[in-house]
Structure 1
Amino acid sequence: MPLEERSDMDQAALLARFAAGDRRAAEALTDLIAPRILRFAARMLGDRAEAEDVTQEAMLRLWRVAPDWQDGAAQPATWVYRVASNLCTDRLRRRRKTLDEMPDLPDMSLSQHAQMMQAARAQALEAALARLPERQRQAVILRHLEGLSNPEIAAIMMLGVEAVESLTARGKRNLSAILAGTRDALGYDDDQ
């Protein structure tokens, strides 16, 4: 099987191959992990350039620990999410201000009105996410935007699964409350 077709199940094997000097394994593992980390960090920080820095630093740290990686430990992606999460938290604490909105590229397959509505929805979501407490924002992003399972999130955030479920539920309730007055303006009908 070509390296590009490797699944998440092969992450530890790819990391071991990298540690043994296989650069193609590093490329394959980067292709599996880095885009997900970049999306997560961009949503946490609201700044793509900072997110790229966090992603690069998190991946560099993975490469440094590769020779000492313990078989049976967390999946490399879980470990990198945890590192990226900590790096984002450090940056947010240093910044101590509201997240900047991250502009999205317009989808040219949509009408101009649909593109504007999609951009307004994305901006509203980003702004609402920025208003959530940090841990709730992190749990909501990992669960609902990154699609990770509660046990994976628990490992990343170093919490119990029940705590993740609670953070996610509170985050969703808070997001709903923040966005409640914008449904009509964003083009959402009651039956959508």
Structure 2
Amino acid sequence: MFFKRRPKLPAELSDEELLVRYRLEGAVADLGVLYERHMPLVFAVCRKYLRPDEDAQDAVMQLFEKLIDTLRRHEVGNFPAWLQATARNHCLMILRARQRAGPDGALVLHFPDAADMESAGVLHQAGDATEDEELTEARLQALEHALAELPEGQRRCLELFYLEKKCYRDIAELTGFDLGLVKSHLQNGKRNLKRYLDSAPNAAR
């Protein structure tokens, strides 16, 4: 007697297997499981570019809807890396749409530390659309590079304070720094971040 092997549950499949099965069968449940695995990564990327958090959450959901069609038509190799790049591009598209819809054609980028670091943003009057897109992307890339260039303590404190919304005491507990050092890392980190952004050759102003 032969028994029909039951189909594997989505949770039992690897990323690659889920991608293949979704492309062949189109079961959104498969894609949902795959996306949920990497949703923290997607949300982290969206929070770097979009504020408030509700906008980032909306972008996460919008991206999933786009993937329903995209992943039926395209083969993807390294899914986490591809998804991270796709999320970043989706956020850039949102920023560009805001630029076109903004008053007086002004483009304002709110970086992760927008509340206290207005100097890290960009205010640019709209001209040639291609130039504006290049400007936007260059500044966003410059911010990423600037964070990576900071000393570890400064970078970690900035990420916890601005991206994860931790208070000074929480940061001290998570990092082992005393409160004075936490405040020093935040102050020096903001200063160094601004200095790097002001001098970055790829960040056209």
With the length of structure 1 as denominator, give the TM-score of the two structures: 0.50
Alignment-derived partner of residue 189 in structure 1: 181
1:35 and 2:24 are equivalent in the alignment: no
Query: Shift in Å at residue 41 of structure 1?
Result: 0.3
Determine whether 1:97 maps to 2:102. no
The aligned counterpart of 1:146 is none
State the distance in 2 between where 1:130 and 1:42 align. 19
- Any unmatched runs of 5+ in structure 1? 102-123, 142-167, 180-185
- Figure out how many residues of one structure are paired with residues of the other and give that number: 130
Distance 2:55 2:95 in 1: 11
Q: 1:22 aligns with which of 20, 27, 31?
A: 27
Matching of residues 26-65 of structure 1 within 5 Å: 26-65=31-70
Q: Following the alignment from structure 1 to structure 2, what is the Cα–Cα distance between the partners of residues 11 and 86?
A: 21
Alpha-carbon contact 2:22-2:28 (below 8 Å) kept: yes
String of CA shifts for 1:47-95, please: whole Å, max 9, x gaps.
222212222222222221222232xx43233222222211222333435
Aligned partner (choices 78, 81, 102) of residue 81 of structure 2: 78
Over residues 89-146 of structure 1, what are the superposed CA-to-partner deviations in whole Å (9 max), with x where a residue is unaligned? 2333435224277xxxxxxxxxxxxxxxxxxxxxx697459827311334567xxxxx
C-alpha separation in 2, matches of 1:35 and 1:128: 25
Mapped partners of 2:44, 2:79: distance in 1: 17
Does the CA contact (< 8 Å) of 1:11 and 1:77 recur in 2?
A: no
Deviations 1:152-173 (A, max 9, x none): xxxxxxxxxxxxxxxx32xx37
Structure 1 residue 30: deviation in Å? 1.8
Deviation at 1:13, TM superposition (A): 1.6
1:131 aligns with 2:120: yes
| Residue 128 to residue 32, structure 1, CA distance change in 2 (3 Å) | farther
Task: Rate the CA distance shift 1:33–1:140 in 2: closer, same or farther, 3 A.
Answer: farther
- Partner Cα separation in structure 2 for residue 97 and residue 46 of structure 1: 12
Q: Secondary structure at the match of 2:77?
A: coil
Q: Equivalent residue for 2:189?
A: none
In the alignment, structure 2 segments of 5+ residues that lack a partner are 1-7, 100-106, 122-138, 159-167, 169-178, 186-205
In angstroms, what is the RMSD of aligned CA positions? 4.0
Task: Output the TM-score relative to the length of structure 2.
Answer: 0.47
Rate the CA distance shift 1:51–1:129 in 2: closer, same or farther, 3 A.
farther
Higher RCO structure (Cα 8 Å, ≥6 apart):
1
Contact 1:14–1:29 (CA under 8 A) maintained in structure 2? yes
